[in-house]
Amino acid sequence: MDLQEEDDDDIDINPFTMLLLDDQQEDGDVRLPTVDENQQLQQHCIRSIESTLLIRQIRSEGLSFQLWPAATTLFTLLDRHRCQTSTSPLAATLSSLSKCQVPRRLRILELGSGTGLVGIAAAAALGADITVTDLPHVLSNLQFNVDANADVLAQQGGTVNVAPLSWGDADHMETIGREYDLILGSDVVYHDHLYDPLIQTLRFFLLGGEKKVVFVMAHLRRWKKESAFFKMAKKLFDVEIIHTDGPSEGSRVGVRVYRFGGKRRILNAVPKSL
């Protein structure tokens, strides 16, 4: 499917999908309108493996502690991939990875994991080794959620490691390394000051190593300005839409899932020390 970013003024004003910029904190995080200031432990059923994941959200702590709509889309696709592999929107991406790798478990890195639902679900549904990452202050809740699902992970043979990764931070990226087959992200494109660091991070993981690595990103478009991120991305990567959800009630757009792969001419030109 061709990538087409609409250029209309379509702005989603559903309070759950809208970020309140006026309420921004010093660290760039923002507080969301809270329905309930208490911690919430939610159950997410992965039908394909007849298991339930437990995820703690702490809405009062800000957006990193809340589950976002695009995460639910990726979670659903991972579950579907496990039980209907041939028709899954992730099939082409995941099968091409397993064909070109030596037979071993997939190694997946998730950027901006937040509560960790996507990474934990990927480990359980794919039996993969996942590194979930986020800003340092988010990691204790992320670790809590990984620990809460230790039994399911042990049953399914997947592992989840928690690590700090602030986008564009060279030390964090070098420490994590490039031993990944696939990079995942959900709802990671929102504040425009994060576009550059996120692109730098994608350059490091997608263009800087020896092997072909792709980024699968679920995204709910909120603002017209986001087209600037996609314009930057398309200079370096081939960007393709692999799935689109129907819009949720009250919205005009649904979550889209994109696949980013390094453009061949860029891959050939980039020094391996990038």
Ligand X SMILES: C[S@@+](CC[C@H](N)C(=O)[O-])C[C@H]1O[C@@H](n2cnc3c(N)ncnc32)[C@H](O)[C@@H]1O
Residues lying near ligand X in the complex (CB under 6 A) are found at: 63-64, 67-68, 70-71, 112-115, 134-135, 138, 165-167, 186-188, 190, 194, 197
CB of 188 to ligand X, least distance (A): 5
Pick 120 or 236: Cβ nearer ligand X = 120
Q: State which residue, 82 or 219, has the beta carbon closest to ligand X.
A: 219
Burial 122-150 (b: 16+ CB within 10 A, else e): bbbbbbbbbbbbbbeebbebbebbbebbe
Q: Which is nearer to ligand X, 33 or 157 (CB)?
A: 33
Q: CB of 103: closest distance to ligand X in angstroms?
A: 30
Structure tokens at 137: 């202050």
Q: Give, in degrees to the nearest 5, the angle at Cα 78 between 66 and 60.
A: 5
Distance between CA atoms of residues 63 and 87, nearest Å: 33
User: Minimum Å distance from CB 84 to ligand X?
Assistant: 23
The CA distance from 175 to 245, in Å, is: 35
Q: Which is nearer to ligand X, 51 or 186 (CB)?
A: 186
Closer residue to ligand X (CB): 56 or 212: 56
Length of the chain: 274
Shortest Cβ 230–ligand X spacing (Å): 17
Unique residue bearing structure tokens 């309420």 = 23
Q: From the CA atom positions of the chain, what is the Rg in Å?
A: 18
Calpha distance 91→39 (Å, rounded): 36
Pick from 178, 253, 266, 267: nearest CA to 221 = 253
Which CB atom, from 70 or from 199, has the smaller least distance to ligand X?
70
For ligand X, the closer CB: 71 or 126: 71
Minimum CB–partner distance for residue 107 and ligand X (Å):
19
H helix intervals, the chain: 69-83, 91-100, 117-126, 139-148, 150-156, 170-176, 195-202, 227-236, 264-269
How far is residue 233's CA from residue 3's CA, in Å, rounded to a whole number? 12
Alpha carbon distance 35, 24 (integer Å) = 18
Q: How far is the CB of 113 from ligand X (least distance, A)?
A: 6
User: What is the closest distance, in whole angstroms, from the C-beta atom of residue 71 to ligand X in the complex?
Assistant: 3
Q: Smaller CB distance to ligand X: residue 71 or 214? A: 71
Cβ(182)–Cβ(74) under 8 Å?
no
- Closest distance between ligand X and the C-beta of residue 64, in Å? 3
